[in-house]
């Protein structure tokens, strides 16, 4: 197991395994994906980070290399999850487009947002190193290309194209930073 994998495995032990909503955040601490778990947040996030049974990883929507933080909002009642996920999705997606393929409707009623837990899943030195535009831009180009290839050769779907658009926006930002 690599140092990165060991650190992630250890740091995930601190993440709640209660039901609720989570956000996978990039090297800058910006949410890139919002999801929910009725089986336990830690269990679900671990599947994302190990690519085990995770559609957003298999479909090339999210690059695990970019994930540095996990934010979690545990809830007591499973009926609160869908509205909380929709609320957080719309809050974050309005700032920077998320990699979630499907947009979520804004909840009709006010949503009480529980206290957020933050867990860093990559060592700080490695996180800073990966922010180097000479590393990050080629990685984003590769991820964009992988998703285009997936759309062309496996599944041409609107939710994947929405993710592709989000990747393109990131690619432009990384390109500008690189220059």
Gap between the Cα atoms of 55 and 4, Å rounded: 22
pLDDT digit string (tens) for 48-63?
888 766 687 777 888 9
Gap between the Cα atoms of 140 and 146, Å rounded: 10
pTM of the model: 0.94
Can you say whether residue 60 is alpha, beta or left, with left for phi > 0 and alpha for psi between -120 and 50 degrees? left
pLDDT digit string (tens) for 104-137?
999 888 899 999 999 999 999 999 999 999 999 9
- Averaged pLDDT, 76-104: 93
Gap between the Cα atoms of 41 and 27, Å rounded: 20
């Amino acid at each position: 197991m690599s140092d990165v994998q060991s650190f992630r495995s250890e740091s995930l032990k601190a993440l709640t395994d209660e039901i609720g909503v989570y956000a996978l955040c990039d090297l800058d601490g910006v949410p890139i994906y919002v999801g929910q778990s009725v089986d336990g947040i830690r269990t679900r996030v671990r599947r994302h980070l190990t690519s085990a049974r995770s559609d957003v990883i298999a479909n090339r929507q999210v690059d695990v290399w970019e994930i540095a933080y996990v934010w979690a909002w545990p809830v007591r009642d499973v009926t609160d999850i869908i509205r909380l996920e929709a609320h957080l999705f719309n809050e974050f997606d309005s700032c920077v487009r998320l990699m979630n393929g499907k947009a979520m409707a804004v909840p009709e009623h006010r949503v009480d947002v529980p206290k957020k837990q933050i867990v860093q899943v990559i060592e700080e030195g490695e996180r800073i190193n990966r922010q180097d535009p000479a590393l990050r831009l080629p990685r984003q180009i590769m991820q964009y290309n992988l998703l285009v290839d997936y759309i062309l050769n496996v599944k041409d779907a609107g939710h994947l194209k929405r993710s592709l658009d989000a990747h393109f926006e990131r690619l432009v930002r990384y390109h500008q930073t690189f220059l």
